[in-house]
Amino acid sequence: MGKIIAIANQKGGVGKTTTAMNLAASLAVLEFKTLVIDADPQANTTSGLGHDPKSIEASIYECMVDGVKVEEIIRKTSLENLDLVPSHIDLVGAEVEMINLENREEKMKEVISSLKDLYDFIIIDCSPSLGLITINALTAANSVIIPVQCEYFALEGLGKLLNTIKIIQTRLNPDLEIEGILLTMYDVRLRLSNQVVEEVRFHFKNMVFDTIIPRNVRLSESPSFGLPVISFDADGKGSIAYLNLAGEIAKKNGHQKVTE
């Protein structure tokens, strides 16, 4: 049975998409069958994995609202074990159209439940909002990764996010766990970066992943190649960090083969 992990933080630019793409690619390289679901209308994961969002006719939205079968819209990527459910701009209208649906928070869960048998990991890249699609993702997920940028105001909005997670745990998804808080864009030379690491570890202790994602130019370049970083800079710091994160998550979830 596969594990569904949402990558969420309503703040933009904290590394959600970079993490979704590169964590999923690293899990795939470690030979886990992995699917990324792009649940952001900006479709950055879709283009980052080599698919032009303009060419996408159906996304997770059409599955949730129009009854399109999710299996029919899965795309392959450059990596053997990595598939993609793409997104496109129409997802923007989804929240409004979904308001009148019954069980509107549980549509994504219904749509992707059949995929749990096909993949070891399903990673959902959320948009920078706590709207209905993100709530759907958190209701469908087994756990959530919260990327936190090592920058000013790192903790801003985190309370609201954790509160939303609590509400979802109470009302919609009692089994939702926090997989971990992930420190991103860490710059060893900056005192601020180190202060953020200390502060986040102080507040959240063992909720924080051991792996820290460094600021790495290759990570920011990779979407323009339509490839995850591991496909063109396998020995670089960004690739190694996301591989370490994948290993940490695999180990935490009882997959021994990676750590032996």
Contact residues toward Mg ion (CB under 5 A) are 16-17, 44
Asked if 10 interacts with ligand ADP (CB under 6 A), we say no
164, two tokens:
């939303």
Asked if 41 interacts with ligand ADP (CB under 6 A), we say no
Write out the DSSP string of 125-152. EE-SS-SHHHHHHHHH-SEEEEEEESST
Q: Which of 7, 91, 5, 97 is nearest to 41 (CA)?
A: 91
156, two tokens:
């801003």
Q: Strand order in 75-76's β-sheet?
A: 75-76, 82-85, 34-39, 121-126, 3-7, 143-149, 177-184
Paired sense of beta strands 82-85 and 75-76, if any: antiparallel
Alpha helices in 30-179 (DSSP H): 44-48, 60-66, 91-98, 107-112, 132-140, 158-171
Asked if 240 interacts with ligand ADP (CB under 6 A), we say no
Asked if 18 interacts with ligand ADP (CB under 6 A), we say yes
User: Are residues 95 and 60 in contact, defined by beta-carbon separation less than 8 angstroms?
Assistant: no
How many residues bind ligand ADP (CB under 6 A)? The answer is 16
Asked if 88 interacts with ligand ADP (CB under 6 A), we say no
Asked if 255 interacts with ligand ADP (CB under 6 A), we say no
What's the min distance (Å) between Cβ of 166 and ligand ADP? 22
Nearest-angstrom CA–CA distance, 182 and 210: 8
Binding segment for ligand ADP (CB under 6 A), chosen from 7-15, 95-103, 109-117, 204-212, is 7-15
Pick from 6, 8, 16, 139: which binds ligand ADP (CB under 6 A)? 16
Contact set for ligand ADP, span 115-174 (CB under 6 A): 128
Pick from 213, 243, 245, 249: which binds ligand ADP (CB under 6 A)? 213
What's the min distance (Å) between Cβ of 48 and ligand ADP? 8
Binding segment for ligand ADP (CB under 6 A), chosen from 62-70, 81-89, 193-201, 209-217, is 209-217
The residue ranges that bind ligand ADP (CB under 6 A) are 12-18, 44, 128, 184-185, 213, 215-216, 219-220
